Amino acid sequence: MNKTIIVSNRLPLQVSINDDELEVTPSVGGLATGLKTVHKDGNGIWIGWSGLTSEELNPELEAKVNDAVTKEQCVAVNLTQKDLDLYYYGFSNRALWPLFHYFIEYTEYNTESWEVYRSVNQKFADKVLEHAVDGDKVWVQDYQLLLVPAMVKAKKPNISIGFFNHIPFPSYEIFRTFPKRKELLEGMLGADLIGFHTYDYERHFLSSVKRILSLEVNFNKVTYNNRIIKVDSFPMGIDYEKFEQAALDHDKMNEDEKSEIQKRLDQHLQKEDGVKMILSIDRMDYTKGIPNRIKAFEYFLKKYPQFQEKIRLIMLAVPSRSQVPQYQKLKQETDELVGRINGEFSTVSWTPIWYFYRALPFQNLIDLYTSSDVALITPVRDGMNLVAKEYIATRTREDGVLILSEMTGASKELNEALLINPFNNEEIADSIKQALEMPKPEQQQRMQALQKRVSRYSVKKWANEFMNSLNQVHKVYQIIEAK
């Protein structure tokens, strides 16, 4: 029986060592949920890094890791600390991440990290080749593994390969600046189906393929090495039912079951009669537009002083890639901005911004989503943005207003949100006012339309549509070959 092999940088497992004992817990993230049916169907496997470097493992522990991941139908790729530093923190996060998000000035290219990126991609491809037989399907995830499709195709051309890019694909004028532009495109073109979140990213990719590799592009098909490669958009969704159900359960909680955060939120909502909560949640990343958001919020407080003491911005930022200097700089800038604004506007009974720099448990995310009147999501670039969709899924009373940057992939589907340009303070400030004053019937009308769309295109549907499309592509090839 043919099987599907999923390949991603990290396995959908948390592996840790406590007192020489290994702990393995399955990840509950959106991607893991979406791919679960594809992965656990038949004898499917998932290939990725376990989260522990070779230096952290002795042979005995390594054998234990392998046993533990095998039970979850997973296969671990071994990475050394140097691999991790140069492939992940280096090339992936200091070159590709900024390049694909239009931060050319942050893009650092050097030959050593490129070489390690290539050798680590080869390690992943070798694991695939070890486990794949003709007729299998391979689905490679994201920008850390751009070269894997071609490495697999070169050795086993009869395996159908899909690739999905979770981040934007930049316009040709940006992409062309990168020294290894040709190699990256050739790596991706090893796939038979290449997927992006939006039609725009798809067009950008095709334009680069046409102009950099001078290949023939016919609508959304590329002809390359006597193969036809299909390029398409598959906007990723969330596990809608999980968020909706969590919000419904949250509503039924009694006082004793409530978290400390929820009790605080209740207290403030009651005490400061009429106070409204504006929420933002993201990884601490320069693509998420965090300083823009805080400055726009400050501008709002100045332009519309009648809202002072009547609203609060709750800003949750999850620590991320904190070894990379630009992330450290962003953290510092954020701390300073929050400090300055709280210093300037606070009164004895009111602090305008509540700022949390940490990862919170799922239950607290639900507390925040369900208690907020407005979600303010302002990335300067974002492949999709799942937080926007999660906010929608938790609004079981069909109220609440989503303010969303038009630079996110999600904005292409979420027209009923208040769409803003994250570089325009005036527009953000006016949208905050509009959201805070929006009559309930209008909130409900917009929210119902958003919920209908987001619930229909869940993460499971996303995974199934991608796999169906990969099956189709494969069938078409078989017919062409038979002719």
Contact in structure between 379 and 408 (CB atoms under 8 Å): yes
3 vs 379 by CB, closer to ligand ADQ:
379
Q: Shortest gap between Cβ of 97 and ligand ADQ (angstroms)?
A: 9
- In degrees and rounded to multiples of 5, residue 345 shows phi and psi of -105, -20
Is residue 376 a contact point for ligand ADQ (CB under 6 A)?
A: no
Is residue 281 a contact point for ligand ADQ (CB under 6 A)?
A: yes
314 vs 316 by CB, closer to ligand ADQ:
316
Size of the chain in residues = 483
Is residue 131 a contact point for ligand ADQ (CB under 6 A)?
A: no
- In degrees and rounded to multiples of 5, residue 360 shows phi and psi of -110, 150
Task: Please name the amino acid found at residue 289.
Answer: G
Closest by CA position to 143, among listed 181, 190, 180, 97: 97
Beta strands in 19-118 (DSSP E): 21-26, 45-49, 74-77
Is residue 412 a contact point for ligand ADQ (CB under 6 A)?
A: no
Closest by CA position to 429, among listed 336, 292, 277, 286: 292
User: Out of 211, 227, 276, 283, which residue is the one contacting ligand ADQ (CB under 6 A)?
Assistant: 283
Binding mask 387-406 for ligand ADQ (x = CB under 6 A): x--x----------------
93 vs 208 by CB, closer to ligand ADQ:
93
Tokens of 354: 């509540």
Is residue 144 a contact point for ligand ADQ (CB under 6 A)?
A: no
Q: Shortest gap between Cβ of 253 and ligand ADQ (angstroms)?
A: 19
Is residue 166 a contact point for ligand ADQ (CB under 6 A)?
A: yes
Closest by CA position to 36, among listed 458, 460, 386, 455: 460
Whole-angstrom Cα distance, residue 327 to residue 85? 15
Q: Considering just the CA atoms, what is the radius of gyration of the chain in Å?
A: 23
Q: Shortest gap between Cβ of 264 and ligand ADQ (angstroms)?
A: 16
Is residue 275 a contact point for ligand ADQ (CB under 6 A)?
A: no
User: Out of 133, 154, 253, 359, which residue is the one contacting ligand ADQ (CB under 6 A)?
Assistant: 359
> Which segments of 304-396 does DSSP mark as H helices, in order?
325-345, 362-371, 386-394
Q: What is the 3-state secondary structure (H, E, C) of 240-258?
A: HHHHHHHHHHHHCCCHHHC
User: Out of 208, 280, 326, 385, which residue is the one contacting ligand ADQ (CB under 6 A)?
Assistant: 385
Binding mask 316-355 for ligand ADQ (x = CB under 6 A): x-x-------------------------------------
Is residue 104 a contact point for ligand ADQ (CB under 6 A)?
A: no
Chain contacts with ligand ADQ (rule: CB under 6 A): 30, 166-167, 236, 281, 283, 316, 318, 359-360, 365, 382-387, 390
